[in-house]
Structure 1
Amino acid sequence: MTLTFGKPSITIRRLGVITSIYMMLGFILLCGLLHPSTIYSEEIKSDINSFISIDDEKTTAPIFDSTLDKLTNSIEERQLELDSDTSDGLIVDDQKDKDMVVVLGDSDSQEKLSPPLKSEIATEENRKQANLAELNATQPNNRTTYIIPESSHSIAEQQRFLIESKGSSVALLNSDEFRKTAREDRGFERDKLRSLDIIPKGDLSTSNVIGNTDIASQISLGFKKNAIQEHHLTKTFSQKDGKLSSVIEGMLAIGKEKVEKEIKYSGNLWQKLKAKAHCLVCCVDNLNFEDIKSYFQYYCHLNHQLKLPKGAILSAKTEVYRGGDFGRKNKDNVFGYRIPSLLKTEKGTLLAGADERIEQACDWGNIGMVIRRSEDDGVTWGKRETIVNLRNNPRVPLVTSGDYSGSPINMDMALVQDTSSKTKRIFSIYDMFPEGRGVISIANTPEKEYTQIGGQSYLNLYNNEKKSKVFTIRDKGIVYNFKGKKTDYHVITETTKSDHSNLGDIYKGKQLLGNIYFTKHKTSPFRLAKSSYVWMSYSDDDGRTWSSPRDITASLRRRGMKFLGIGPGKGIVLKWGPHAGRIIIPAYSTNWKSHLRGSQSSRLIYSDDHGKTWHTGKAVNDNRVLSNGEKIHSLTMDNKKEQNTESVPVQLKNGDIKLFMRNLTGNLEVATSKDGGETWQNHVKRYKEVHDAYVQLSAIRFEHDKKEYILLVNANGPGKKRQDGYARLAQVNRNGSFKWLYHHHIQDGSFAYNSVQQLNNDQFGVLYEHREKHQNSFTLNYKVFNWSFLSQNTEKQGTLWEKMAANWHVLFKFYL
C-alpha cells in the first residue's frame, strides 16, 4: 500500500509541476501581450512615423491598420501645434532639440505645414534646378536642408538618396546604395512580387534576401560614412549567415533585435510598412546617431520611458564634448572625452572641464585639459579652450606596442572657485605623469621627487636610469648640479603659450635639447622622477583664460606614498565652522606595499591662504579600526575590501564634512570629518539602499524650504557595470546622517564619471560620461532636472513587464 500510494503521489506531483509550468508559460504569454510596448505604443510609434509614410491601398495588415492611421494623424496634429516662432517642422522631444527636423506627408499634409516649411517643399523636377545654397541661407541656425521629393519613379529610385551634415562624420543612407556592389540586400524589405516580407532576425540577420532593386522597397538607415567606404566595397554579404554586422558595424536599424534563435513571422505582418515614398524635408545640423535613433523608438523601446509627475523636468541630453565614432576620431582629431568637471561660478557661468583623450580612452597617451563655458545654464556652450596639453615625445612612435605611451600626461581635473576671496579665483587641480602609462609607469622603487634647500623644495632631475646623481631645477628654471653649482641648462617652468605645451623643454644656452618629461628615446640629458604629480592652474576672468600650470606636489606628498592623485569632479569652499574659507579638493593615495591592489585611500588636500600653499589631510583609512579589530593605515595597509578611492566632499550646515567615496563594498560609503578634512571619524557609514558600481560619483548639499538635502549622482550597475545613471535625493537628519527619499533614473545605457551642480533654487545640471553603441568612450553629455523631478516618484512605465517578459519581448511585442 505504501508503494502503491507513493506512485500516484509522484504522478500527482508531476502533474502539479507540469500544470505549474503551463500556468507560468501562460502568465509569461500574458506578460508579453501586456508588454510595456502596449502601454506606451502610441508614443513610441509616433517617432517611427517621422521616417515612414504609410500610404499603400493595395496592402493590408490588420494588426497595424488602426494604429498606423492614428500615427499619421498624430504627426499632422503635432505639426499644427508648433509654436509660431519655431517653424522648423517636427519638434524633437519636449526640449525642442533642433539638431534634426523631419517633415513628411503628401500634398494634402504639406498644405497644413507652416508657410516657411511649405515653401521648402520641392518636386522632383524643380529639385534638380533648386539652388540649395540660396535655400540653406533661409534656414535657422545655419542648417542645411536636403529635399527628397515625392516622385512617380520607382521606389528604389526615390530612395537612392544621401542626407549628410556639413562637416559631419555621419550620414543617412538607405540600403539600396549598397546594392551597387553587394547584390544581396539587408534591412527591412518587402518582396512585392511574392508578397513576402524580409524581416531582420538576430543581429540583423535576414532570410529570403532579394537582390533585385525593382521588386524591393527599403527603409532608410543610419551609418557612418567611413564605415560605408571601408566595408561595403571590401566585404561581401553572405546570404547564408545573413549577418549585417559583419558588413557594416554599428548600423542603426529599425527592427534590430537580439534573439537566441530564428523566429518565423507571418507573411503579411509587415505589409503596412513603407510601401510608398513621400516627400521628406530634413534640416540637419551636426547630425548624430542619437538624433537618428530617436526616430527609431518603435523597436528601441527599452529606452526608459518615464512618466513624470506634474511640474517635473528631465531634459534631453546635450552633447558638450562629442567624441568619435566606431573607434575613429571626431572632426577635431579627438578619440573621446572623459572625466567631467562641472562648476557654477559666482557670475552664473557654467564651466565644463574634461580630459581630451586624443588617441584612446585609457589613462595615458596624448591627453589635454580642456574647458568650455556656458552663460545660459548649458543651453549653449562656447568654444573649447585648452588649459594644458604637454607635447608628445617626437622620437617615440605615437603607437608603441599599441599603448600610446609616448606622451606626458595631465588628467583627472577638479574645479573649485575661491568664493571667499576678492578675486573669486577659479582653480583647476589635476594629475601629471611623465611620459609612459600613467600610474602604471611609476617606478618600482622610490625615486625622490624633490630636494629641500633652505626651506624651499626644488624638483629633482636624473641623468641616467641607475644610481643617478641628482640635479635640481631652481629659480627661473636654471639647473643646478649635484654640488649645488649652476649649469648651462635651463628648463621652461612657466610659459605664456596658450596650451602650455612647451613646459619641461630643456635648453643648453639657446639650443633645445628635449624635454624633462620624456623618459624614453630622450635627447635631453635629464628626466624627472618617474612618479605622480599634482598641478594647478587658475583663472581670474571667469574661466576664459588660464595661468601657466604650477606644480604643488612638494607640499602634498608624504613619505610612503607611491601615488597621489586628484579625485576628479569638483572641490568646495567651507562655509561654516572654524575653517570657513578653506578650499577643499578630493584626493587619494596608494602605498609601496600593495599600491592599487590593496591601499587606495581617500583623503583631502586643502588651502587656507587662497591657493598659495597646499596641505594634505590624513586619509580616511589612517589608523582606522575595522569591525574585526584590525587597525589599518593608508601607508602600510594591504586590504582590498577596505579601499576607498575617488571621492566628493560636501559640508553640512553643522560644519561636518561628508566624503562620498568610491569603494568595493557594492554600497555607498560616507566618511565624516569634524575638523575641516584634516582627520576622519573611525566609523565609515555604509548605506545599503544606495548601490555603488565602483566608479566615481558626485554629490552636492543644498537647502529647500529650510530643509537640508543631499543630491547624489552615480551609476546603478548591476554589480560593477558602469550603466544606468541615477540621481538620488536624501534628507539630512539632525545627527548628520541621511534618509534616502528617492532614486531617479536619468540615463539609460553606459554611465560612468559625472559631475553635478545646482543651477538655481529649482534646477540642477549634471555633466556625465555616456556612449551610444557606435560612439567611442566617451561623449560628455549634459542634462537638467528640477526639484519636482527629484522630490516625487517618477514611474518608469513597463519596468515590471520588462523584467517579467524580457525573454518573450521579440515574440509578442509585434502583436499590439
Structure 2
Amino acid sequence: MKALLIVFLFTLSAMWGIDSLAFQDQATPVFSAGEGEYACFRIPAVIKTTNGNLLAFAEGRKNGCSDTGDIDLVMKRSTDDGRTWSQLQVIWEDGTNTCGNPAPVVEKSSGDIILLSTWNLGSDREPQIIEQQSTDTRRVFLLRSDDDGHTWSQPKEITAQVKDPTWTWYATGPGSGIQMVNGPFEGRLVVGCDHIEAGTKKYYSHAVYSDDGGHHWNLGGSSPQDQVNECEVAELADGRLIMNMRNYDRNQKSRQVMFSDDGGITWTGQKHDEALVEPICQASLLRHEDELVFSNPASPDKRERMTLKVSGDDGRTWDRQLILHEGPAAYSDLVSLAPGRIGCLFEAGEESPYERIVFLPVEMDRFR
C-alpha cells in the first residue's frame, strides 16, 4: 500500500508539473540572524549589475525582527552567480532610525544602480504614522552607485517627487524594479510602491517612474481598489506592464494584479489571480526571456512553502511550479542569471521564516 501511495503522489506531481527540490541543503545563506550587530535580517532584494555581479540587499534590524526601530540598509556582493558572498556592507545607517524597504533597479545604458528606500524615525510606529499621530512621517530617498555597488551616494530625499502630501504610510517595493525594453517607453525605470490615504486606513499600490536614468522621479498611477500594498512590476510581451500585489481580502486568498498600457501612469483591470494563493505576504515577479516567473509562500494562511510558478502566456495561466522550501518562508526577490537560469533570494528557516535570507539558483528546465 505504501508503494502504491508513493507512485500515486509521484504521478500526481507529474500531472500538475509540481516538483520539490528539497532546497534546504542547496540554498546558500546570505544574511543570517545574529550576524554582525544585527539580530535579524529581513526584506530581501537582488539585482544583477551590468558587470555580471549580484548585489543582495536587506534590512539589518539591530534589536529584533520588529518593523520599527534601529534598522539599516545592508548589502552583500557575489561575483560567481550566488555561490559565495562578500562580507556585509552597510549602505545606509541613520542612528536609531529606520532605513528600509530596498527597491533597487539597474539603469542598463550607464550601468548605474539606483536604490529607492523609505525612512522614518525609529521611535515612530506604523499605526502612529497612519493615524497622523507620529513625530514625523514616512519619507522616500534615493541612493546611487556608479561603480557596480562598491560605493554609494549620500541618500537624497525625493519625497516631494513621489508621495502625495495627503498620504500617510508609504513604502518602496520592496524588491527590485525594472527598466522597460519595448515600445514608446523603452528605457523607463519603474518601481512598485504602496501607500495609505490620510483618514482612510486603506492600502493602495502605485508605481513611480523615471525617464532620465533615475535622476528625477515621477508619481505614477494607483490601484483603482484598495486592500493591496507591497508589489512588483513586470513588462509583458506587448509592452504593457503587469503589477502583482499583496492582497488583504481574506474572502479570496490570492494575489491581485492590474495592468498599464502607458508605462505605469494609469492602471486598470484590477482583479484576483486565483492561481497565485497567498497568506498576506510580499511576493516577486520576474520576466525571464519569454516567460513570467512568480515567487511567494504558496499557502493560504501561513508563511510557508516558498514556491516558484511559471507562465508562458503573460500571466493568464500558471502551469508549472517548483517548491523551493516546504518550511517557514516569507519575502522573496527574483533575478535573471543567464539564459535558462534564474535566482531567488528569500527568507526561510526551520522554526521561523526570519532565521536567514538565502539565495538559490534554479535552472528553468526543471520546470519542464
* TM-score, scaled to structure 2: 0.90
1:686 to 255, 265, 272: 272
2:234 to 650, 663, 668: 650
Residues 713 and 727, structure 1, Cα contact 8 Å, conserved in 2: yes
Residues 355-504 of structure 1 mapped to structure 2, 5 A cutoff: 355-391=59-95, 407-420=96-109, 423-442=110-129, 444-445=131-132
Residues 577-592 of structure 1 mapped to structure 2, 5 A cutoff: 577-592=183-198
Name the amino acid aligned to 2:234. V
How many angstroms apart in 2 are the aligned matches of 1:412 and 1:613?
Answer: 19
SS at match of 1:738: coil
How many angstroms apart in 1 are the aligned matches of 2:54 and 2:297?
Answer: 23
Residues 335 and 776, structure 1, Cα contact 8 Å, conserved in 2: no
Residues 522-601 of structure 1 mapped to structure 2, 5 A cutoff: 530-595=136-201, 599-601=202-204
Q: What displacement does 1:441 show? A: 3.2
Residues 160-309 of structure 1 mapped to structure 2, 5 A cutoff: 306=20
Residues 660 and 699, structure 1, Cα contact 8 Å, conserved in 2: yes
Cα 1:666–1:442 change in 2 (3 A) is same
Structure 2, unpaired ranges of 5+: 11-17
Deviation string for 1:727-782 (max 9, x for gaps)? 001112xxx55221112211121110000111000211111001222x78231011
How many angstroms apart in 2 are the aligned matches of 1:306 and 1:709?
Answer: 20
- Are 1:617 and 2:220 an aligned pair? yes
Q: Could you tell me which residue of structure 2 aligns to residue 749 of structure 1?
A: 327
How many angstroms apart in 2 are the aligned matches of 1:428 and 1:715?
Answer: 25
Q: Could you tell me which residue of structure 1 aligns to residue 14 of structure 2?
A: none
How many angstroms apart in 2 are the aligned matches of 1:438 and 1:584?
Answer: 28
Q: What displacement does 1:314 show? A: 10
How many angstroms apart in 1 are the aligned matches of 2:64 and 2:213?
Answer: 36
Residues 697 and 754, structure 1, Cα contact 8 Å, conserved in 2: yes
Q: Could you tell me which residue of structure 1 aligns to residue 13 of structure 2?
A: none
Deviation string for 1:783-812 (max 9, x for gaps)? 11101112x2xxxxxxxxxxxxxxxxxxxx
* TM-score, scaled to structure 1: 0.42
Q: Could you tell me which residue of structure 2 aligns to residue 777 of structure 1?
A: 354
Residues 333 and 358, structure 1, Cα contact 8 Å, conserved in 2: yes
Residues 314 and 785, structure 1, Cα contact 8 Å, conserved in 2: no
Q: Could you tell me which residue of structure 2 aligns to residue 178 of structure 1?
A: none
SS at match of 1:612: coil
Residues 275 and 317, structure 2, Cα contact 8 Å, conserved in 1: no
Cα 1:444–1:702 change in 2 (3 A) is closer
How many angstroms apart in 2 are the aligned matches of 1:314 and 1:750?
Answer: 11
Residues 439 and 532, structure 1, Cα contact 8 Å, conserved in 2: no
Residues 27-38 of structure 1 mapped to structure 2, 5 A cutoff: none
Name the amino acid aligned to 1:429. L
- Highest CA radius of gyration, 1 or 2? 1
How many angstroms apart in 2 are the aligned matches of 1:576 and 1:788?
Answer: 26
Cα 1:363–1:737 change in 2 (3 A) is closer
Structure 1, unpaired ranges of 5+: 1-29, 41-303, 325-329, 392-406, 447-518, 520-528, 625-641, 793-816
- Are 1:720 and 2:301 an aligned pair? yes
Higher strand share: 2
How many angstroms apart in 2 are the aligned matches of 1:611 and 1:436?
Answer: 30
Q: Could you tell me which residue of structure 1 aligns to residue 262 of structure 2?
A: 675
SS at match of 1:685: strand
Deviation string for 1:309-349 (max 9, x for gaps)? xxxx997111011113xxxxx4x232111000010111110
- Are 1:347 and 2:51 an aligned pair? yes
Residues 241 and 264, structure 2, Cα contact 8 Å, conserved in 1: yes
Q: What displacement does 1:305 show? A: 9.2
How many angstroms apart in 2 are the aligned matches of 1:569 and 1:776?
Answer: 17
Q: What displacement does 1:424 show? A: 1.6
SS at match of 2:244: strand
Residues 314 and 786, structure 1, Cα contact 8 Å, conserved in 2: no
Indicate the structure whose relative CO is greater, using CA pairs within 8 Å and at least 6 residues apart.
2
Residues 209 and 220, structure 2, Cα contact 8 Å, conserved in 1: yes
Name the amino acid aligned to 1:417. V
Q: Could you tell me which residue of structure 2 aligns to residue 261 of structure 1?
A: none
- Are 1:316 and 2:26 an aligned pair? yes
Name the amino acid aligned to 2:87. K
How many angstroms apart in 2 are the aligned matches of 1:534 and 1:445?
Answer: 17
Residues 31-110 of structure 1 mapped to structure 2, 5 A cutoff: none
1:786 to 360, 363, 367: 363
SS at match of 2:221: coil
How many angstroms apart in 1 are the aligned matches of 2:260 and 2:343?
Answer: 27
SS at match of 1:753: strand
SS at match of 2:183: coil
SS at match of 1:368: strand
How many angstroms apart in 1 are the aligned matches of 2:362 and 2:191?
Answer: 26
1:729 to 304, 310, 315: 310
| Greater Cα offset, 663-672 or 648-657 | 663-672
SS at match of 1:548: coil
How many angstroms apart in 1 are the aligned matches of 2:46 and 2:191?
Answer: 14
Determine what percentage of the aligned residue pairs are the same residue.
Answer: 26
Q: What displacement does 1:537 show? A: 0.7
How many angstroms apart in 1 are the aligned matches of 2:61 and 2:5?
Answer: 41
SS at match of 1:752: strand
The size of the alignment, in residue pairs, is 356
1:759 to 324, 334, 337: 337
Q: What displacement does 1:443 show? A: 7.1
How many angstroms apart in 2 are the aligned matches of 1:440 and 1:644?
Answer: 17
Residues 700 and 756, structure 1, Cα contact 8 Å, conserved in 2: yes
How many angstroms apart in 1 are the aligned matches of 2:328 and 2:117?
Answer: 25
Q: What displacement does 1:560 show? A: 2.1
Deviation string for 1:540-566 (max 9, x for gaps)? 110111111111101222142112211
Cα 1:644–1:787 change in 2 (3 A) is same
Name the amino acid aligned to 1:724. R
2:207 to 604, 628, 642: 604
How many angstroms apart in 1 are the aligned matches of 2:173 and 2:125?
Answer: 15
Residues 537 and 548, structure 1, Cα contact 8 Å, conserved in 2: yes
SS at match of 2:206: strand
How many angstroms apart in 2 are the aligned matches of 1:531 and 1:314?
Answer: 39
Q: What displacement does 1:657 show? A: 0.3
How many angstroms apart in 2 are the aligned matches of 1:385 and 1:323?
Answer: 15
- Alpha-carbon RMSD across the aligned residues, in angstroms, is 2.5
Cα 1:560–1:306 change in 2 (3 A) is closer
How many angstroms apart in 2 are the aligned matches of 1:437 and 1:720?
Answer: 29
Q: Could you tell me which residue of structure 1 aligns to residue 15 of structure 2?
A: none
Cα 1:435–1:738 change in 2 (3 A) is same
How many angstroms apart in 2 are the aligned matches of 1:315 and 1:680?
Answer: 41
